[in-house]
Amino acid sequence: MFGGSLGNNMMKGMVCLVAVALVVAGSASIAAAQAAGLKKGFYKKSCPQAEDIAQKVVWKHVAGNRELAAKFLRMFFHDCFVRGCDASVLLDSPTNTAEKDAPPNLSLAGFEVIDEVKAALERACPGVVSCADIVALAARDSVSFQYGKKLWEVETGRRDGTVSSDTQALNEIPAPSSTFDILLTNFSGKGLGLQDLVVLSGGHTIGIGNCNLFSSRLFNFTGKNNPTDTDPSLNPPYAKFLQGKCRRNLQAPNDNTTVVPMDPGSSTSFDSHYFVNLKARQGMFTSDATLLTNSRAAALVDKLQDNGVFFDHFKNSIKRMGQIGVLTGASGQIRNKCNVVNS
């Protein structure tokens, strides 16, 4: 970064920006074609009560466990980033090689609620509503519960995939250790842009993080055998707080039993507080903190600290995310059970 001349660095930056722009343009056109089969109220005639049935089941469970909102939002994100939004994350594998068996997905939860929604919909409208749409609806409805109204519209009409690979999940799901350039390339490859990257990161306003995913920022960060050496991009009091919570990881870096709220003081409330914390250098993961290393992303972080601005942007970004790689029309299938492909 500090080597080479200013001219060389500028040229490299221009080449990088052109490459990303080309990827975005190509991916956007593909995404548009794939999303053509989605629309608001897809089940209006075939199963008019579908969204009400799904909401009723999801709200019942979220009322007793507010942490489910973060889990369903994460499930939707992880599903869409691997093979598109096709419910492949729900499939079981007798050889433990499905997406849900990949390390990034081992902490996913809420599958039993998805199954309950599916069973209720099958009783009302057999063979009509896809598991892929159920995942999208569960994410929206669980997050919306605290406000008692739908925070965004969900386009429906997805069909279910028949392939699920743990290797693909490991390769495609953005890692919490990712730098900004890696994240932007990953999002661009899905037809999403810089704004979507920053806005969707705001989903970290709810949920928890495992210490093993960020403890490298807390202990011996520079590799000089100093256990109190922390990532300088962390707010020092916040770093000390995390060190206290993650003490076990000093001796056992891979220990995944300890969890910490991603948005301290607001971990079950979906709001813009994540960006307030991020601005104060209290982003838990490297993938959070790195948003401040890009001027455009950092400017967005400033704007998104306002609840109204965040909600307006989030509903648009998650709509775009929900269009990634969708199967529509005659592609895929409508699974009878969400965890198995139809025989």
**Residue stretches of the annotated binding site:** 79, 82, 84, 86, 88, 99, 174, 204-205, 263, 271
**Angle, nearest 10°, between helix axes 111-124 and 68-80?**
80
Take residue 268 and report the two structure tokens written for it: 């079950």
Residue 340 phi/psi, 5-degree rounding, is -140, 145
Take residue 82 and report the two structure tokens written for it: 């691997």
Contact (Cβ atoms closer than 8 angstroms) between residue 97 and residue 339: no
DSSP secondary structure letter of residue 284: S
> Can you tell me which residue has the tokens 């972080």?
301
Distance in angstroms (rounded) separating the CA atoms of residues 143 and 268: 9
Given the residues 61, 78, 273, 313, select the one marked as catalytic.
78
> Can you tell me which residue has the tokens 């909600």?
311
Take residue 275 and report the two structure tokens written for it: 């960006």
Contact (Cβ atoms closer than 8 angstroms) between residue 211 and residue 259: yes
DSSP string, 220-274: STTSSS-TT---TTS-HHHHHHHHHHTTHHHH-TT----EEESSTT-TTS-STHH
Closest Cα to residue 276, out of 287, 286, 263? Answer: 263
Binding residues for Ca(2+), as ranges, are 79, 82, 84, 86, 88, 99, 205, 263, 271
Contact (Cβ atoms closer than 8 angstroms) between residue 312 and residue 304: no
Q: What is the largest CA-CA distance in the chain?
A: 67
Closest Cα to residue 130, out of 86, 100, 162, 165? Answer: 86
Active site residue 313: no
Distance in angstroms (rounded) separating the CA atoms of residues 262 and 254: 19
DSSP string, 292-313: GGSHHHHHHHHHTTSHHHHHHH
Take residue 251 and report the two structure tokens written for it: 């001796």
Catalytically active residues are 78
